[in-house]
A = this chain, B = another copy of it.
Amino acid sequence: MRILIVEDEPGIYNFLKQGLEEESYAVDIAEEGKKGLKMALSGEYDLLLLDWMVPGISGIEICRQFRQEFKQTPVIFLTAKDTLDETIFGLQTGANDYIKKPFHFEELLERIRVQLRPKSGEHSIFKLGNITLNTATYQVFKGDEEISLTQKEFALLEHLLRNKGMVCRRSRIIESVWDIHFDYNTGVIDVFINALRKKLKLGKDENYIQTVRGVGYIAKEI
């Protein structure tokens, strides 16, 4: 899941970026309104976090123009305490939710989940054969055995499981997991797929993560 943050204060966006990345969202930042709108319109994001006051175009204007293009991507506003009445106006321009600064990260996360739920499926637990991945506790089990994964391994497996039964293109994987959206003629994915299959001890009879030659990978029940 990709999130765009339009926010000019480094203190805030760094906090958000790190926190959200720990939850394995891919996060991009725009420090300025015009750029933010352009990035938002690219269609690469699953959710927008807009600060109310950013240099350039205001958050509300970004939202309005964004919705004018019939984009459905959920929008959450980050607003200062004293602009509440305007905020409600903001919701009328098509935002989905708002959150007051200072806020608890936990609360923001919950609201993000609410917005993404219809797409991402509501459970934080994903299953594939006897493999279980729990995004809440950051744990992976194969049967009863806990498998210790690194960040990237976890993010990759999560991506595959979120899209269980569907082919995940390499380009999409590199975008979602590595947050790279340009050239990607690199072998990282292969290396990490290899690591996953090893750690999960996927034998011939447990070919849960299959290669789709020329395209990517697919996680599916056998």
Taking the complex as formed, is A11 at the interface, i.e. its CB lies under 8 A from any CB of chain B? Answer: yes
Minimum CB–CB distance for A81 against chain B, Å: 11
Does the CB pair A139–B166 fall under 8 Å?
A: yes
- Flag if B12 contacts A182 (CB, 8 Å): yes
| Pairwise interchain contact B212-A138, C-beta atoms closer than 8 A | yes
Chain A interface bracket (under 10, 10 to 19, 20 to 34, 35 or more): 35 or more
In the complex, A96→B84 CA distance in Å? 8
A12-36 Cβ-contact flags toward B at 8 Å (1 or 0): 1011001100110000000000000
Distance A110 CA – B183 CA, assembled complex (angstroms): 19
Q: Which of B23, B100, B104 contacts A122 (CB 8 A)?
A: B104
Contact of A103 with B138 at beta-carbon distance under 8 Å, contacts A22-B171, A88-B88, A171-B22 already known = no
A92 at the interface (CB under 8 A from B): yes
Interface readout for A195-216 with B: 1 if CB under 8 Å, 0 if not?
Answer: 0000000000000000011111
What are the interface flags for A161-184 relative to B under an 8 Å C-beta threshold, 1 for contact and 0 otherwise? 000011101111001000001111
Which chain A residues numbered 5 to 61 have a C-beta less than 8 Å away from chain B? 10-12, 14-15, 18-19, 22-23
List CB contacts (< 8 Å) of A95-116 with chain B. 96-98, 100, 102-107, 110-111, 114
Question: Does B165 contact A137, Cβ atoms closer than 8 Å?
Answer: yes
CB distance from A183 to the nearest CB of B (A): 4
Please determine whether B18 and A171 come into contact, CB atoms closer than 8 angstroms. yes
Q: Which single residue of chain B is at the shortest CB-CB distance from A14?
A: B183
Residue contacts A-B, CB under 8 angstroms, 14 given: A11-B182, A15-B182, A15-B183, A18-B184, A18-B185, A85-B88, A85-B91, A88-B88, A104-B122, A104-B181, A137-B167, A138-B166, A138-B216, A150-B213
